Amino acid sequence: MSTTKNHVIGVVHPGLMGISVANALIEAGHRVCWCSENRSAASAQRAGDYSLHDCETLAALCNECDFIFSVCPPAEALVVARAITECSFNGVYVDCNAVSPATGKSVAQVLSASGAHYVDGGIIGPPAWSAGTTRLYLSGPRAAEVTALFEGSLMGTVSLGEAVDAASAMKMAYAGWTKGSAALLLSLFAMAEHHGLGEALKQEWALSQPGLEKRLNSIAQGNAPKAWRFIGEMQQIAATMEDAGQHPGAFESAVDVYAAMADFKSSPAHDITVEAVIRSLISTSKQSAS
Amino acid sequence: MSTTKNHVIGVVHPGLMGISVANALIEAGHRVCWCSENRSAASAQRAGDYSLHDCETLAALCNECDFIFSVCPPAEALVVARAITECSFNGVYVDCNAVSPATGKSVAQVLSASGAHYVDGGIIGPPAWSAGTTRLYLSGPRAAEVTALFEGSLMGTVSLGEAVDAASAMKMAYAGWTKGSAALLLSLFAMAEHHGLGEALKQEWALSQPGLEKRLNSIAQGNAPKAWRFIGEMQQIAATMEDAGQHPGAFESAVDVYAAMADFKSSPAHDITVEAVIRSLISTSKQSAS
């Protein structure tokens, strides 16, 4: 596959992950655009910091770009695709969102109305600010062109072949463990605390599950500020499990757990202790029981 | 608390865990009984190997013993308690089973009919054949007497105080992680394989989740032969979560996973590969979808 440079590429939206995708594409020699219409001051600040070109409107962005990357919360994936189609975009559209294969296929179908080409993407890892931390999984008939865009950048790519839904399924399976097991551990610890047994459970873990208390602490503090946006992702994984013939219950539980933690979005970091997070799970359950 | 010896203690039933409880009590200087009525040849063999006294009938066992330990699958816990009460047992009854606090309280209520004293127990660890591997958690007003029985044996004990349900809750919280996270991992891997992505997922794990493939293999091979008896335990944990105001879905999923693996009970060890276990999860889901 030959290296490609000098494409004009749109990134909607330059959030914490999106800006690292944009930066990788700039590193690889492309011109990267966004549009400031209806976006937050934080997005505008990030776009400015990394010298993204502002097309101002989505219509202008769709007109200028050969490729568009969608990096947004899962619940927005279809909304963004519809808006792009209404702007008659007919280039290559890379959906990088944590959505189920079924949602991905719906995005593909929406795009076909304007003749755009869907490529399925799934990002595993943190925003790509260091080499080797982050991989963009890609699949679909036009995936190879997207892989080529990132050559020489901090964003790794892995091709999963021609299937239109492989990258989405990969992201669901991976995040299902990291975020699903985290929700399970938090919820079990909340149950133990409900019985006044948190300390006893930690003592047993110290003997027979080394590292688990540390994992609980790191999960509580790491996931609480982001829990609000895990809710939609857990719903997508539940649907993916059901479509694959697996019971979706673990992710219905996880939706509940992250919903109970959603208010930590706006908490100062020093208020996010494991005790506070567990308390939020216990008090939410008391509210819904009453 | 003073050391106690020379009690006459019943153990129903001497299964793989029960026989190690019996052995610990013999080590500590007690006479241990069982009853062969309606029990399997394997139980009789184990009881003989460790020189348990055979009272033959449950009525004789209840008449001879000061303490009775119930070690059985969770679905049998109430059945055993009812049978003991019908034999007018009025000593100390230790329920060591993996049951919810609510089931434990039902056992206590059943026992009160004959004046027996309920002690809540929960065993964490494998059968106690080496020092330090296994702990019997105990709670309730008469728990201290039970703790004293094990002094000088391979079975560790941990007292959780006077609450009638603390030991059960402790077991549920602990097993909820070990067996619940195992079910989650198996089910997610089955979903990935459904999409033809098992190998790709393992490659990603090798980069960013070190040890997870090894854990998958060890879970599949270790849990498959025992999956049939995890089903009841997962149901008990689901009920425990719900009673504590936590979403029970993760354990409804786990019931499905272990039910799909139940037939491995009678498989020769060399047939239990991770591939065969994952296949059982995928083919069960296909059957229920059709």
Q: What is the mean pLDDT of residues B79-98?
A: 97
Q: Is residue A146 included in any domain, yes or no?
A: yes
Cβ neighbours of residue A38 closer than 8 Å, sequence gap 6 or more: none
| Per-residue pLDDT at A285 | 63
- Which two tokens mark A198? 């948190």
Domain C-terminal end among A164, A190, A206 = A164
Q: Is residue A3 included in any domain, yes or no?
A: no
Does residue A121 share a domain with residue A80? Answer: yes
Question: Backbone phi, then psi, for A185, in 5-degree steps?
Answer: -65, -45
Q: What is the mean pLDDT of residues B17-22?
A: 97
Query: Above pLDDT 70, what percent of chain A?
Result: 97
Alpha helices in chain B (DSSP H): 18-27, 41-49, 58-64, 77-86, 101-112, 143-149, 166-194, 198-208, 212-223, 227-243, 249-260, 274-289
Place of tokens 């309280």: B105
A219-250 pLDDT, tens digit per residue, is 999 999 999 999 999 999 999 999 999 999 99
| Per-residue pLDDT at A289 | 47
Does residue B188 share a domain with residue B153? Answer: no
- Which two tokens mark B255? 């019931």
Distance from CA of A280 to the nearest CA of B (A): 12
Which residues partner with A46 through β-bridges? none
Is B286's pLDDT higher than 60? no
A12: part of which helix (H) or strand (E)?
strand A8-12
A179-213 pLDDT, tens digit per residue, is 999 999 999 999 999 999 999 999 999 999 999 99
Q: What is the mean pLDDT of residues B43-62?
A: 96
| Per-residue pLDDT at B289 | 47
A91-128 pLDDT, tens digit per residue, is 999 999 999 999 999 999 999 999 999 999 999 999 99
The per-residue pLDDT of chain A, averaged, comes to 95
- How many residues can be counted in chain A? 290
Does residue A19 share a domain with residue A70? Answer: yes
Q: Is B114 on the interface with A (CB under 8 A)?
A: no
| Per-residue pLDDT at A13 | 87
* Cα–Cα distance measured from residue A158 to residue A146, given in angstroms and rounded to the nearest whole number: 11
Contacting residues of B for A250, CB less than 8 Å apart: 183-184, 187, 249-250, 253-254
| Chain-chain contact of A189 with B173 (C-beta, under 8 angstroms) | yes
* Cα–Cα distance measured from residue B288 to residue A245, given in angstroms and rounded to the nearest whole number: 8
CB B276 within 8 A of CB B221: no
Q: Is residue A267 included in any domain, yes or no?
A: yes
Distance from CA of B238 to the nearest CA of A (A): 11
The per-residue pLDDT of chain B, averaged, comes to 95
For residue B261, give the 3-state DSSP assignment: coil
Size of interface A-B (CB pairs under 8 A): 197
Does residue A24 share a domain with residue A136? Answer: yes
- Which two tokens mark A158? 């892995």
Does residue B269 share a domain with residue B217? Answer: yes
CB B72 within 8 A of CB B61: no
- The enclosing domain of A133 has a CATH number of 3.40.50.720
Does residue B221 share a domain with residue B131? Answer: no
* CA distance to A163, A214, A220, B265, per residue, from A179 (Å): 25, 16, 11, 31
| Per-residue pLDDT at B1 | 41
Q: What is the mean pLDDT of residues B185-208?
A: 98
- Which two tokens mark B111? 């026992």
Domain hosting A248: range is 172-289
CB B53 within 8 A of CB B65: no
* Cα–Cα distance measured from residue A177 to residue A195, given in angstroms and rounded to the nearest whole number: 27
| Per-residue pLDDT at A2 | 45
| Chain-chain contact of B247 with A248 (C-beta, under 8 angstroms) | no
Does residue A120 share a domain with residue A92? Answer: yes
What total of structural domains would you count in chain A? 2
Does residue B123 share a domain with residue B77? Answer: yes
* Cα–Cα distance measured from residue B196 to residue A34, given in angstroms and rounded to the nearest whole number: 35
Domain C-terminal end among A117, A148, A164 = A164
Does residue B220 share a domain with residue B152? Answer: no
* Cα–Cα distance measured from residue B218 to residue B181, given in angstroms and rounded to the nearest whole number: 13
A156-165, A280-289, B259-268: which range is least confident on average? A280-289
Q: Report ipTM (2 d.p.).
A: 0.95
List the single residue in A135, A187, A244 with the smallest CB-CB distance to B194.
A244
| Chain-chain contact of B244 with A189 (C-beta, under 8 angstroms) | no
CB B6 within 8 A of CB B32: no
pLDDT band for position A1 (cuts 50, 70, 90): very low
pLDDT band for position A3 (cuts 50, 70, 90): low
Is B254's pLDDT higher than 90? yes
Is A58's pLDDT higher than 60? yes
Q: Is B26 on the interface with A (CB under 8 A)?
A: no
Q: Is B248 on the interface with A (CB under 8 A)?
A: yes
Q: What is the pTM of this model?
A: 0.95
CB A140 within 8 A of CB B166: no
A56: left (phi over 0), alpha (psi -120 to 50) or beta: left
Q: What is the mean pLDDT of residues B124-136?
A: 97
Cβ count within 10 A of residue B289:
10
Q: Is residue B1 included in any domain, yes or no?
A: no
Q: Is A265 on the interface with B (CB under 8 A)?
A: no
Is B269's pLDDT higher than 60? yes
Domain C-terminal end among A101, A132, A164 = A164
Which chain A residue lies closest to B239 (C-alpha atoms)?
A: A191
Does residue B93 share a domain with residue B46? Answer: yes
Q: What angle do CA B106, B109, B114 make, to 5 degrees?
A: 135
Strands B117-124 and B135-139: antiparallel
- The enclosing domain of A193 has a CATH number of 1.10.1040.10
Query: Above pLDDT 90, what percent of chain A?
Result: 93
B71: part of which helix (H) or strand (E)?
none
Q: Is A188 on the interface with B (CB under 8 A)?
A: yes
